[in-house]
């Protein structure tokens, strides 16, 4: 069942929140032995919350737009009573979080039921979903393949039907890459749109939090529930809540859609080209636009990512280097040695690039681009060949997401159900226009052009 169907059934007392919760816990118990998407299952908390929801409805109270909907969160979100491991070994020594992350609180205020925390790449510095401490989260369409990262457990849990909604984070593509590999919808909102309070950071100037779902409407419902200013996150906007779920029915008449050319047509496998062409045809898009210096934007994003990330972890690198994933540790060490002049140059370029890209939205409403260059690679696969060049998988599956998150644009990743594996396409909009990106995603879903396929590998 979709989240919206669950909420309607619970509110109408056709199903109880307790029944829905028990069914979710049973699915997790049965299927997660294959997927390895959960690191913590908060069963008793979930049952207690479900009982509260059923009691409120029985008393004639409104239980919220997500009444009884199970959800789970990437384990960099603070969950009261759990140590916030952020995919690491070191953080397991932290005391239990005294309070939930703000977005968990808002989801539960809307009636949702937290059922657990999800596997992720160490300290969110990952695109594959392979965690050396907890094992890899696996792709629900083929468990021998990657789920994507760093929100791999979130993608795997939603794609595998364990929960209808999950929350993750996206710094350079960590919502959009798992969405693409696992065949689901994912939303990276505008930078600063959703509060990051009480979540473990990676790169403060690039970090976003957002939802995964199996339908565009569910994505919109979760997004609406989590909006709002928050003084506990200095980057969070003071803009008022701007609900989008009720706008989906407006359709996309009058919107101008363009295809990202040049950089975004390079370094792709045939399946990515096919997916973009499929979505563009459904939308009637023929115009191509060029995001200027996108390759340089990706390089600048790498510099900022590795230097800010290294700064955050310097003390741990000095005291416990042996407890890091070696691949993560070595990139942080490299980041600590980047000359300051390069960081300054990257930040100056960032301002220039943002201004040039925003000019494109004067003439178009949406830009379509590949989410990943390929379908999910095999677990353990170290390299692939793009445009005749052998490249490391871990660093390059986000080749098309980094130039977008670098300047904080809102993006919905939509799943194109190719065979044998799905792949995602980015629907990119101007800042604060999540409504447009979600309307396009919903319209594509209604056309049958995109859909979250049923899991085949579990």
Q: Which residues are part of the catalytic machinery?
A: 74, 150, 174
Is the CB of residue 113 less than 8 Å from the CB of residue 123? no
DSSP helix/strand/coil, 201: coil
What distance lies between CA 424 and its chain's CA centroid? 12
Q: What is the DSSP string of 85-130?
A: -TT-SGGGGSPPBSS--HHHHHHHHTT-EEEEEE---GGG--SS--
Q: Judge contact between 186 and 212, C-beta under 8 A.
A: yes
DSSP state of 144: E
CA distance 93 to 310: 20
Q: Please give the Cα distance from 35 to 290 (Å, whole number).
A: 39
Angle at 245 between CA 169 and CA 151, to 5 degrees: 15
Residue whose pair of structure tokens reads 């369409």 in the numeric block: 141
Return phi, psi of residue 355, to 5°.
-65, -40
For the chain, how many helices (H) and strands (E)?
A: 14, 15
User: Do residues 226 and 106 touch, judged by C-beta distance below 8 A?
Assistant: yes
DSSP string, 386-412: ETTEEEEHHHHTTTTTHHHHTTT--EE
Coil/strand/helix, residue 426: strand
Dihedral over Cα of 194, 195, 199, 201: its sign: positive
Q: How many C-beta neighbours within 10 Å does residue 105 have?
A: 16
């Amino acid at each position: 069942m979709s989240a919206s169907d669950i909420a309607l059934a619970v509110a109408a007392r056709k199903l109880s929140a307790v029944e829905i919760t028990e069914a979710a816990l049973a699915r997790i118990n049965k299927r997660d032995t294959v997927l390895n998407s959960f690191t913590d299952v908060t069963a008793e908390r979930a049952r207690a919350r479900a009982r509260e929801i059923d009691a409120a409805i029985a008393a004639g109270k409104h239980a919220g737009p997500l009444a009884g909907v199970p959800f789970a969160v990437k384990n960099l979100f603070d969950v009261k009573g759990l140590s916030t491991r952020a995919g690491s070994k070191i953080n397991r020594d932290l005391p239990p979080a005294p309070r939930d992350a703000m977005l968990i609180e808002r989801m539960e205020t809307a009636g949702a039921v937290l059922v657990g925390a999800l596997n992720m790449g160490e300290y969110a510095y990952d695109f594959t979903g392979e965690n050396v401490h907890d094992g890899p989260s696996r792709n629900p369409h083929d468990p021998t393949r990657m789920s994507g990262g760093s929100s791999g457990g979130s993608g795997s849990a939603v794609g595998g039907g364990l929960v209808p909604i999950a929350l993750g984070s996206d710094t350079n593509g960590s919502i959009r890459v798992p969405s693409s590999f696992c065949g689901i919808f994912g939303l990276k909102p505008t930078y600063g749109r959703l509060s990051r309070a009480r979540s473990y950071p990676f790169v403060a100037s690039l970090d976003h939090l957002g939802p995964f779902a199996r339908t565009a409407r569910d994505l919109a419902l979760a997004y609406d529930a989590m909006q709002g200013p928050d003084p506990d996150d200095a980057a969070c906007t003071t803009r008022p809540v701007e609900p989008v779920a009720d706008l989906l029915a407006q359709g996309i008449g009058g919107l101008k859609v363009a295809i990202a050319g040049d950089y975004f047509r390079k370094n792709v496998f045939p399946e990515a080209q096919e997916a973009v062409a499929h979505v563009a045809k459904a939308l009637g898009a023929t115009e191509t636009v060029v995001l200027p210096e996108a390759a340089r934007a990706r390089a600048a994003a790498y510099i900022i990512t590795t230097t800010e990330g290294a700064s955050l972890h310097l003390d741990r690198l000095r005291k416990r280097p042996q407890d890091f994933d070696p691949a993560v540790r070595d990139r942080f060490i490299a980041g600590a040695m980047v000359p300051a002049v390069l960081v300054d140059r990257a930040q100056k370029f960032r301002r220039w690039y943002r201004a040039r890209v925003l000019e494109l939205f004067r003439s178009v409403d949406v830009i379509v681009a590949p989410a990943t260059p390929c379908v999910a690679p095999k677990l353990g696969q170290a390299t692939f060949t793009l445009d005749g060049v052998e490249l490391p998988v871990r660093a390059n599956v986000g080749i098309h997401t980094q130039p977008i998150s670098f300047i904080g644009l809102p993006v919905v990743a939509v799943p194109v159900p190719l065979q044998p594996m799905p792949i995602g396409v980015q629907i990119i909009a101007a800042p604060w226009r999540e409504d447009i990106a979600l309307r396009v995603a919903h319209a594509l879903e209604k056309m049958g052009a995109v859909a979250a396929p049923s899991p085949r590998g579990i």
